[in-house]
Amino acid sequence: MKKALKIFGIVLLTIIILLVIAPFVFESQLKDLVRDTMNKNLNAQVDFEDIDLSMFRSFPKATLVIEDLSILNKEPFKGDTLALGEEVTLEMSVKELFKKGDEAKRIDRLSLNNAYINIKVDSLGNANYDIAVEDTTSASGESQPFSLDLKHYEINNSTVKYDDKTTKVSLEIKNLNHEGNGDFSLDQSELDTYSEALVSLNYDGVNYLNQNLISLDAVFQMDLENMKYTFLENEAKVNQLPLTFDGYVQVNENDTEMDITFKTPSSDFKNFLAVIPEIYAKNIENVDTSGDFVVNGRIYGKTDDTYIPKMDISITSNNASFKYPDLPKSVQDINLDLKILNDTGLVEETYVDINKATFRIDQDRFSAEGHLSNLTENMLVDLALKGTVNLANISKAYPLELEQDLTGVLTADVQTSFDMNSIEKEQYQNVNSSGTASIKDFRYSSPEIPNEVKIANADMSFNQGNVRVPDLKLTTGKTDISASGSLQNLMGFLFTDQQLKGNFQVQSNTFSVNDFMVAETEEVTTTDENGIDRTSEKTTGEEAVKVPSFLDMELKFDAKTVIYDNLELKNAKGVLVIRDETARLQDISTDIFNGSIGANGMVSTKNPTPTFEMDLNLNSLDIASSFNGMELMQSLAPLASALEGKLKSTLNLKGNLNDDLTPQLTSIAGNALAEILTAEINPEKAALLSQLDGKLNFINFEDLDLSNLKTKLTFNDGMVQIAPFDFNIKDINFQVSGSHGFDMSMDYDLTLDIPAKYLGSQVGNTLGKLSGQKLENMMVALPVGITGSFQSPKLSLNMEQAVNNLTQKIAEQQKDELEDKAIDAINDILQGKRDPNKPFSKNDSTSVNSQKNDSTSTRTQKDSVSQTQQEQVKDVAKDILGGILNKSKKKTDTTKNN
């Protein structure tokens, strides 16, 4: 006995050792086998990260785990991802591992975790999932290396996308969990399944399901030989609406045949609340209801490239009501009679009849009826709406989680019929609408706007495609608006993605731009307790003015006061065109800074950085007020801080804007032509003028007259270039040119032409001695360089050049005098009136200009000024300018003493 136990122990130990070392023996072979087998049998590029083989995970079966499996399509979907799988697990008998590579291997269990499956069908009918290589079974009956003999399969936490261009169907299944138990080796068997997922469905651009929670617990009779699947036991839920199914689906070679009926297992009106997405229909088990809600439907027939299944679906409710226990009001007199029908199997002949839809809250009743047809082509709409709704009562009767409270009374009596093509093509002559609607005492608040919007009343009158708004009164914050006009495409705005178009005349006592500062938001995705991703918007703490993207409006406005940033504009009039996230200003006029401004231009918030272009006419603005109120004026003309008076200017500007629509100064480019109408100067208010007043003692700024001074400015990249211009302080001429930056740095050239008569009697006598007479009209040119900044200027007086200029003028004048004397003397000698040996006298002044060009000796005399005389002149010039710049300031005109 002991010997038998010993032998058994040795055998058991040997088996355990073999099970432990088997994965190491077979793993490398399996990797090559799986990779080669998949690529040979699939017309796709298949790869994976690793393979793990375990003998113990599901003993006595072997477990094969394929990690990070990827399947990429070849033509005509080359490069597209068909499938990704984080983990694929296969269970099989151990003996399957010892079969040869060309022998069939049976898989008992398959699981797919965290997968992404992307199914596409292009407009030509090509499907990216059609990747199986044609059957290569030989005449000898040899089969492919794998065969499917499943007992259990499951898909966990996966996503499936389906996009079919031929049928215009787009389906997305998220958080998919599905499992099935059956025997696929039998021709006839039962398949027990359970599925749940979030389903979104779009058909021809229309959304029918949006992440609706759908579950199905069903047992199918499988007839694999005929590919027929019949419902046996089942229960499904759409959101919380229960449904049961009967019937079958059979997949044929060229079509799919079905005959399925479904219904609600009970007629309780809670079934209606269950249709609503779960996030909005909370705690329906505690809701008091009366009346019924019944869904019955049949989908039957064949589906192929031409036909869809026929359908007959009815939804009814009679004299129903509901009340949530925590809310004060109930919804009563609910009646529904809705049918979805298709009698032919042609998709375009599906239609919806709304025979009745009514409800009442308190005394407010609302009803709708209509007919929708040709749903998938050019949908035809015929609707009638009538009734009154107190918006505040909606949240008192139904637990809506609104970001803002709604109040107001909506009244409507409207009939409309149209086709969607006419709406999309803006052929509103084909729209037949009539009736009236109004809203009163409407209030709207939201975190996205700083103030509550209040509409005292808004009346609407429908006529074909147009909606006339004869009276609209709105207030928000400091802003009040009275408007009248028309909307051209309200239907297009409501039923398609068109912008809302219209024309309005707007009056306002006060319009504050700050009331429309929108809080900047960003999308934040969170996961709730059920594992469902929820996307919401969160404010960033910043504010911006945005031109609405959904508006295409022309507004003719007249506002008594417009508040923009820290400015108040009075009597603002003009036309504002809002289109494509751009506001265009046409013939705008407004009063500001005791003058007026005219404007044409545009502001666009279409791109992440807002931009603007503007032509401005500034007329008779108060210089001091405009300097203090406009940052742009402070950058273009910093010296304006020392001026008091009036100016006018034309400006052409373009550049970028901040989020609050104030200019980004460093981005501005353009030009300006400015004219000072009247001005007085106070040098103490500007450091540069104060330094000039101290350095140039002969200047008295009280004598400065800037009236009608004109200059042209160009600006770009934060620099302002000043075109050369002149002005006078009494008879002193100033020539100015140069540039400065918006950072207040500067580089200017200033040239002063100083009259000799302003130099005083002593200086005048000195000039007279050099020239032989008083030179009342002689000018002294003094260049001044100005650098540094406006707050800390640096002045550079070019004395050397000034001395050279004065020396040259005096020397030239003395040469001219000497030339005249020489000519007079030569004429006297030739006429015998003068002794040739007698020197020139001071009084020889006879003019003989007719002989200047005939005398060679004249030219010799003209060029004979001695070097000593030149130096003498230069020294005197230095003395003169030194006296001018260093003597004390005189407040009186010294020429009056001469």
Q: What is the pLDDT of residues 21-64, one digit of tens each?
A: 444 445 566 666 667 767 777 788 888 888 777 765 666 677 87
Q: Are residues 248 and 162 in the same domain?
A: no
Contacts with 427 (C-beta within 8 Å, 6 or more apart), sequence order: 421
Taking 70 as the threshold, does the pLDDT of residue 474 lie above it?
yes
Higher pLDDT: 792 or 827? It is 792
Q: What is the mean pLDDT of residues 298-308?
A: 87
Count of domains forming the chain: 3
Q: Per-residue pLDDT tens for 244-256?
A: 999 999 988 888 8
Q: Which pLDDT does position 7 carry in this prediction?
A: 42
Question: What number is the average pLDDT over the span 705-718?
Answer: 80
pTM: 0.57
154, 258: one domain:
no
Interior/surface letters 23-46, b for 16+ CB within 10 angstroms, e for the rest: beebeeebeebbeebbeebeebbb
383 and 280 together in one domain: yes
Q: Is the pLDDT at 829 greater than 70, yes or no? A: no
Domain termination residue (choose one: 386, 401, 416): 401
**Same domain, yes or no: 244 and 157:** no
- The pLDDT confidence band at residue 846, using thresholds 50, 70 and 90, is very low
Same domain, 358 and 254: yes
Between residues 502 and 769, the one the model is more confident about: 502
- Is residue 162 located within the same domain as residue 247? no
Q: Is the pLDDT of residue 862 over 50?
A: no
Residue 299 confidence class, pLDDT cut points 50, 70, 90 = very high
Cα 507 from chain centroid?
29
pLDDT by residue (tens digit) across 411-444? 999 998 888 888 778 777 788 888 898 989 988 7
Instruction: Inform me whether the pLDDT recorded for 336 exceeds 90.
Output: yes
**pLDDT-derived band at 680, boundaries 50, 70, 90:** confident
Average pLDDT for 99-110: 68
pLDDT at 687 exceeding the cut of 60: yes
Mean pLDDT of 789-799: 80
70 part of a folded domain: yes
Pairwise CA distance, residues 553 & 115, whole Å? 48
> What is the spatial distance between Cα 803 and Cα 884, in angstroms, rounded to a whole number?
12
The verdict on residue 686 lying in a domain is no
**Residue 512 pLDDT exceeds 80:** yes
* pLDDT for residue 398 is more than 80: yes
- Contact call for residues 626 and 636 (beta carbons, < 8 A): no
Q: Which of 266-270, 676-680, 862-866 has the highest mean pLDDT?
A: 266-270
Domain boundary among 370, 401, 432: 401
Q: In a 10 Å sphere around its CB, with 0-12 CB exposed, 13-18 middle and 19+ buried, how is residue 116 labelled?
A: middle
Question: 172 near 206, Cβ under 8 Å?
Answer: no
Query: Does 271 share its domain with 150?
Result: no
234 domain-assigned = no
Beta partners for residue 135, in sequence order: none
**Dihedrals φ, ψ of 91, to 5°?**
-115, 140
- Structure-block tokens of residue 244: 């049961």
**Is 77 part of a structural domain of the chain?**
yes
Type of residue found at 743: D
Q: Binning pLDDT at 50, 70 and 90, where does residue 886 land?
A: low
Residue 175 covered by a domain: no
Range of the domain at 783: 762-897
Q: Are residues 66 and 161 in the same domain?
A: yes
Look at residue 448 in the predicted model and tell me its pLDDT. Answer: 54
What pLDDT score does 310 carry? 92
- Model pLDDT, residue 608: 84
- 598 or 131, greater pLDDT: 598
Asked whether residue 496 is domain-assigned, the answer is: no
Question: Of the segments 436-440, 561-565, 882-886, which one has the largest average pLDDT value?
Answer: 436-440
Assess whether 126 and 252 both reside in one domain: no
User: Which of 591 and 515 is assigned the larger pLDDT?
Assistant: 591
Tokens at 78, concatenated: 């080359």
φ, ψ of residue 589 to 5 degrees: the values are: -140, 145
Asked if 801 and 893 sit in the same domain, the reply is yes
pLDDT at position 697 is 67
Q: Let me know if residue 22 belongs to a domain.
A: yes
Q: How far apart are CA 180 and CA 151, in angstroms?
A: 8
State both tokens at 616.
């401005």
Mean pLDDT, rounded, of the chain: 76
Residue 740, in any domain of the structure: no
Predicted pLDDT at 524: 60
Per mean pLDDT, which range of 163-177, 204-218, 857-871 is the poorest?
A: 857-871
- pLDDT tens-digit map of 600-649: 988 888 888 888 888 888 888 887 777 777 777 777 778 777 677 788 88
For residues 261 and 159, membership in a common domain is answered with no
Of 383, 401, 419, which residue is a domain's last?
401
Together in a domain, 67 and 153: yes
Q: Is 326 helix (H, G, I), strand (E, B) or coil?
A: coil
* pLDDT over 90, % of the chain: 14
